[in-house]
Amino acid sequence: MALIKDSSPAWLVLADGQVFRGRSFGVKGTVIGEVVFTTGMTGYQETLTDPSYFGQIVTQTFPLIGNYGVNSQDFESAQSYVSGYIVREWCNAPSNFRSEDSIDHFLKRLNIIGLWGIDTRRLTRTLREAGVMNGAITTEDPAANMDSLLSEIRAYAVRNAVASVTGTEVRTYTPENAKYRVVLLDFGYKRYIRKSLMNRGCEVIVVPANTTAEEIREIAPDGIMLSNGPGDPAENTQIIENLREIAKLGIPMFGICLGHQLMALAMGAKTEKLKYGHRGANQPVIDLVSGKTYVTSQNHGYAVVGESLDTAVGAVSHNNANDKTCEGIRYTAVNCFTVQFHPEAHGGPLDTAYLFDDFTSRMDAYKEEK
């Protein structure tokens, strides 16, 4: 049976004073966050449970969301980290053999405030032209307290992002016939990174973001994975300092997304905030070694400034075909390579999964040398 959609009004108020009136789904209330957009046509459940969206109000550019429902198998984490969720329309009669619930019930269960029925194309154009900006979703008419609400919106900033999403305990995941031992530094990791490693025979030991080089040395891994995560990478000064020391261990390292950015900062490069970021499953990336172009899945608002990397330390290995920003680095001074995109997310048919195989090859070489 189709659900009866809530006709209660809800509003989006942007920091520049624009107001979008729509309707409510999920839970009711008021939430403030950084308003961003993602272009994925599918993968909304993964988006909602990706810790990299911490502190952000996520807008889906695809007009219909929820048509295949949600299920308990595709979560990227145990909860949702988005501040709020915006769609043009949500499907109240999902159809898929794996579907267990509707997206509206999913948002209610995870206590997420949603807004639907607004012109998401207009909102996306605003963010593309002006850049990402703060905003608020509210189910209370904002006209009565607009001045105070705008003050709160403009004062908002995403802070302590990694500390808010990282685990606090060491957790070990062991597949059958494990061949490698990998430490996964949890900056807000997606579960499929762990699964991609386990599928290749890796015992994965997930450790908190602030784990030190000495603590990793005691674990004696064959490889170190630097995960994705949210926020401004430069904010994580202690983690960056830790990575400098971790790199000296000589253990093969592979970084994804925030892990890519943090490693670059540890090696002396700089990062910058992009105007509206890369979020979606259709970002073209050029492998500068092979010359091939891959369609990749991405979710980030910051990028490494490729020109800031000392050529004695490493070289840019991948570029974004659209804006030419740095999408990967292969280091020569340390045993490490990193990418900005998500090779585990399969923007195309296993397009960049080969990077996990590159990682296991490095671990094979490391084990032979020991």
For the annotated catalytic residues, the residue numbers are 257, 342, 344
DSSP state of 209: T
DSSP run (H or E) holding 200? none
DSSP run (H or E) holding 326? strand 326-331
The answer for residues whose C-beta is within 8 angstroms of residue 184's C-beta and 6 or more apart is 193, 194, 197, 204, 205, 206, 207, 225, 227
Handedness of CA 62, 75, 285, 55 (dihedral sign): positive
Radius of gyration of the chain (CA): 21
CB count within 10 Å of CB 343 equals 25
CA 105/CA 115 separation, integer angstroms: 14
Give the total residue count for the chain.
Answer: 370
Handedness of CA 58, 62, 64, 70 (dihedral sign): negative
Per the CB < 8 A criterion, the answer to whether 39 and 61 are in contact is yes
Tokens of 358: 């590159």
User: In a 3-state reduction of DSSP, which class is residue 107?
Assistant: helix
Beta strands (DSSP E) in 201-325 are: 202-208, 223-226, 253-256, 270-287, 293-305, 314-320
Per the CB < 8 A criterion, the answer to whether 55 and 135 are in contact is no
Residue type (1 letter), 150: L
Q: Is 155 exposed, middle or buried, given 0-12, 13-18 or 19+ CB atoms closer than 10 A?
A: exposed
Strand arrangement of the beta sheet that strand 270-287 belongs to: 171-173, 202-208, 180-186, 223-226, 253-256, 336-339, 326-331, 314-320, 270-287, 293-305
